[in-house]
Structure 1
Amino acid sequence: MTGTVAPVFPWGSALLFCPADRPERYAKALERADAVIIDLEDAVDPARRSGAREALVASDLDPSRVIVRVNPAGSDDHDADVSALAATPYRAVMLPKAERVSDLAALAEYDVIPLCETAAGVVAAPALAQAPGVLALMWGAEDLVASLGGTSSRDASGRYRDVARYARSAVLLAAGAAGVHAVDTVHLDIADLDGLAAEAEDAVAVGFAATACIHPGQVETIRAAYRPDPAEVEAARTLLAAAESAGGGVFRHDGRMVDGPVLAHARAVLRRS
């Protein structure tokens, strides 16, 4: 599939991770965020994953707002995770450390979000985005740097290093080229809401559909970034009305030339509103 990304992302702008071995937090996480990512992978000690799968199967959440992160394909836990998932009503799954289309083989019945968070995964992002059943791609910085033998995705100022910025752009471009959505990665410094706001605002500007987070306190900052302010919405409506009056083609509006891409930007603002 190629072409323009579908306008509707089904899970909203703020996706909150929740450890699968903490079922008492499931409902609260879902209440606080647009969707919850119940995490069977990094958030759960391997010794507790069996119990986490039992908790997942026993849960009763709105399946339209639940994503389950299973363990990587080929890992000891992957098959058990997929078996547990089949016993639930949840049909959206995140696959960490996705590196090849064959990694998605056991997930044919699901809406899949491959997580491109290794060097091989970032390089494979175009093929993963084109795979059947893939609805979105996500990228990850820390596992990526670890896969390269590095020690930190950010410099002393807190800014992503070049390799992380490249990976972020590569995954976004691969998703857009395939007509699927892209999800921006988590901001690990929970107290740094200013930094989170800046990254979420940039994510919106370049076309990410959502941003994942690890703490409920980050949700509203993400939502605020994705939610256009009233002045931005009114400007978009005015521009589109002016385009309709102009009858097509390039025209001048408020001192600037307006063409198809500018109108597409305005329509994106109204979709987010």
Structure 2
Amino acid sequence: MTPTPGPGRTWIITPGHMRDRFPAAHSSGADVALVDLEDSVPVAAKPEARRSARVFFTHPPSRCALGVRISSPTTRDGILDLAALHGYPAKPQIVLVPKVESARDIDIVAGALDTPGYAPHLYALIETPRALEELPCIVRARRIAGVVFGTADYATAAGCSRTWEALVHARAALVTSAAAAGIPAIDSPFFDLDDLAGLRQEAQRAKALGFTGKSCVHPAHLSVIDEVFRPAQEEIAAARAIVAAAERAGGSIVRVDGRMVGPPMVTAAQDLLAREAAPGKARA
């Protein structure tokens, strides 16, 4: 069984037909680096992308989980992608499944890829209104490891803009369903490559909503995303103080730094400390 990678705060995706970009993705400092066989690859270049992508996993970096975004498993390209993965000498730890609209989509990929010695971590890319309606079932697929939000396709399908206000309902629904199933939710990339202030604001909003990380398509965005989603030392110290106070009080409601702290806040503090101490995390 493949070791479980932490969901990571920072995800970067690189087109599979642009092999010259692979080293930059590996050394970018992202927690998760994906090679893309789907939207960023022109139709004519997809066969080349499948051949090139195998190199992406041959010499994996030690501090980065590697994955692949395949095409939808209900399409011809998706079937060819799954067949190609079987021939890779080194396998992806994560497989991102796009256009997921039912738990069946995850089951199809698991059935095609799982072997006695290999079972990748399957993430569902949620990017249509129908997927949003089916979230309670999707997040409980047997082999699902997490969900990723796709704003571009969702906005196109819904006929709405890609502004935060237009998509906040979809984001909130995604985070709620993911939290109910106990799996991580990763936010969509921010597509204005030069607007780092806008990226920071959107990342802060996503974190406040409950997302555990954010993806990007350019390395310049990684440091901002990591800074936003990485708990500050003050947050970690506060969490430790809350947990210690709760342990001394035997689970009773306590006062910490002038604030009343009850079981929900203690659980949140414990979760934060557990995430930071998780051995599967790509970065500390």
Q: TM-score w.r.t. structure 2 length?
A: 0.85
Q: Report how far residue 104 of structure 1 moved.
A: 2.5
- 3-state secondary structure, aligned to 1:38: strand
Q: Report how far residue 258 of structure 1 moved.
A: 0.7
Output aligned runs, 1:60-71, within 5 Å. 60-62=58-60, 65-71=65-71
Contact 1:30 1:65 in 2 (8 A): no
Instruction: Report the counterpart of residue 208 of structure 1 in structure 2.
Output: 211
Distance 2:127 2:140 in 1: 17
Q: Report how far residue 201 of structure 1 moved.
A: 2.4
Contact 1:19 1:44 in 2 (8 A): yes
Structure 1 pair 16–244 and aligned structure 2 pair: CA distance change class (3 A): same
Distance 2:104 2:241 in 1: 47
Q: Report how far residue 74 of structure 1 moved.
A: 2.1
- Match of residue 132, structure 2, among 118, 122, 137: 122
Contact 2:94 2:122 in 1 (8 A): yes
- Ranges in structure 1 where 5+ consecutive residues have no aligned partner: 1-7, 155-159
Instruction: Report the counterpart of residue 100 of structure 1 in structure 2.
Output: 102
Deviates more, 1:205-214 or 1:137-146: 205-214
Are 1:27 and 2:23 matched, yes or no?
yes
Q: TM-score w.r.t. structure 1 length?
A: 0.88
Deviates more, 1:193-202 or 1:128-137: 193-202
Are 1:147 and 2:152 matched, yes or no?
no
Output aligned runs, 1:68-79, within 5 Å. 68-79=68-79
Structure 1 pair 10–87 and aligned structure 2 pair: CA distance change class (3 A): farther
Distance 2:195 2:267 in 1: 32
Output aligned runs, 1:74-89, within 5 Å. 74-88=74-88, 89=91
Distance 2:74 2:245 in 1: 55
- Match of residue 49, structure 2, among 38, 48, 52: 52
Contact 1:228 1:272 in 2 (8 A): no
Structure 1 pair 54–261 and aligned structure 2 pair: CA distance change class (3 A): same
CA shift digits 1:61-116 (9 cap, x unpaired): 42871121011132220100011122221142111111112222431123211111
Are 1:161 and 2:165 matched, yes or no?
yes
Contact 2:65 2:93 in 1 (8 A): no
- 3-state secondary structure, aligned to 2:144: coil
Output aligned runs, 1:169-208, within 5 Å. 169-208=172-211
- 3-state secondary structure, aligned to 1:161: helix
Q: What is the aligned-residue identity percentage?
A: 32
Distance 1:197 1:264 in 2: 27
Deviates more, 1:96-105 or 1:60-69: 60-69
Instruction: Report the counterpart of residue 261 of structure 2 in structure 1.
Output: 258
Q: Which amino acid aligns with 1:139?
A: F
Q: Report how far residue 247 of structure 1 moved.
A: 2.1
Give the count of matched residue pairs. Answer: 259
Distance 2:160 2:203 in 1: 24
Q: How large is the RMSD of aligned CA atoms in angstroms?
A: 1.9
Q: Report how far residue 257 of structure 1 moved.
A: 1.2
Instruction: Report the counterpart of residue 280 of structure 2 in structure 1.
Output: none
Instruction: Report the counterpart of residue 138 of structure 1 in structure 2.
Output: 148
- 3-state secondary structure, aligned to 2:161: coil
Q: Report how far residue 9 of structure 1 moved.
A: 6.0
Structure 1 stretches of 4+ with a deviation exceeding 3 A read none
- 3-state secondary structure, aligned to 2:33: strand
Structure 1 pair 127–61 and aligned structure 2 pair: CA distance change class (3 A): farther
